[in-house]
Structure 1
Amino acid sequence: MKISREVKAAVLVISGILLFIYLFNFLKGENIFADEVEFYTEFEYNALNMSSPVTIKGNQIGKIEKIKYDFESGKTRVEFSVDPKLKFSKSSVIRLYETGLMGGNGLAIIDSNEGPIAQKGDFIQSEVEKGLISSLSGNFSEISTDLDKTIRSADTLLLSLTSVVNDASPEGLKATISELNRTLKSFKNLSYSINDVVKQNDEKIAATLESIQKASENFSALSEDLKKAELSKAVASFDETLQKFNSVLSGLEQGQGSMGKLLKDDKLYNNLEAVSKEMELLILDIKLHPARYRRILSKREIPYEPPTEEQINEKN
């Protein structure tokens, strides 16, 4: 019987597909020709997916077959299969654990080694590992809040770096990094210089610190002496004197006593101003008519004439 080329091509393609499927599952650690045994368990909430591993003592020996929510019990029913070579007790525990910080979760068989061997279709008790998985349900809101704050801080930092780096090209970024490197080297050299200065002046620094300590002790002794000298009484006496002085000033402000009346009496001010004006006119008249005052004892009387505005302006 002669086989056509089309049939040969189809058989070749199908064989290639089957071989690819087998190799793909083989690389994942699964044997599609093995007669795997299925079990099931239940959890309060679902933290698994179909790619979650089933392990025992850290070795993958099975996979998740089905994840289904049970409406009657309100729990998540998980069906999984294991290698038929594996034998474990029915009283064992299926533990939900974290495979890594970013690696998701998995199922681990914790064999109790007690009682009869688990058979296909048996229900196995479950538990959740203490740690991140058990705390996620209660602290997820806090984690999300902290994550949001972290993202905002990172965004602010990136914006700040963007504003600092004016030239966003690779050359500009390299120049900025080079400049930052030079700055760090300068700080390093400065720290070395400061360290050398400290080493060279170690004795002076020690003497300075000792002087500061002595000054502190002297200040403490001075404060003790001031305390013994009843400084509080002196301050109280000074405060009493200030109160009396304020009382005197208040009396003067209110016009009490002779000084108060002199300060508050408008008539005295007006009289003094009038006398000052008369004295000014008298002095001006003496300057204008000196002969009049030389003949005070003579019988001839020179009448007084008030100065004119022009005379006053000339003298001023």
Structure 2
Amino acid sequence: MKLSKEVKTAILVISGILFLIFGINYLKGVNLLAGANTYYTEFDYNALAKSSVVTIKGNNVGQVRSIEYIPETTKTRVGFTVDNDLEFSKNSVIRMYSSGLMGENALAIIPANDSEWAQDGTVLTSEVEKGLIDKLAGNFSEISTDLGTTLKSADTLLLGLNTIIRDDSDVGLKHAIAELNATIKSFKTLSNSFNTLVNKNEESLSSVIRNVDSISTNLAAVSSDLNKANVSETMASLNATLASVNGILTNLENGQGSMGKLLTDEKLYHNLEVASMQLKELLQDFKLNPKRYVNVSVFGGKNKEEYVKPEDERQ
């Protein structure tokens, strides 16, 4: 089926959006293709943000996912995810520390030296880096002091915005709003194009959906046939056969039966070897001295040569 330009454009746009989402999360240290376990810890103060990094020995291994205040305990519960390939003890300590000059905070896993591995959902013990507690307390106490200054700055900012709005020049806010309006119109046009694309390919989309439904039905039928195949009985019969063969091999190794004795009895092997060699010598002697075994005489004469038993049975 030949794809139209609209379909190709839609595929390109969707692929770009997916790649952008994957790239942003990858730069944050989150691999969307790998699984992750979620762990929890609690602090008296919250100095973290969602997407704060989680490290172990300086390496990024996870990310903060949830921050929730618990009124019953007056603590803040922090949930963070770590790649499920990383294993650490449930007795490890989660330390909050300052990770940069801009005041960002992060979590560090301080592993314990034991093999009691933490599981998904485990609540871990927490601690705060020395000196960070005083900094947090100071920040909270200075909120009320800085509130008045913040309000004054906000008022000044609003006055400046009013001046910009009244500015009729090209650098004013009106020009920016006009550009934003044009952008919204472009998105509206793109939305109409998508609607037109769907309407034109409605029959093809319906066919694809029917094919998917047919595939799921076939998979259900295959699963039903496998259930009726009595796979467990077949495996049980196979196990019994293997056990029987194993018993036969054990008897052979223990020298039981004719085959077992032939494999393990060295004396029997020696006798068979001697008998084979004697048979070979007998046939050779018969070929060289046939008169010794077949005596044909018109006058009834006798062969005077007598058989002499060799000293070695192999001769």
Normalised by the length of structure 1, the TM-score is 0.43
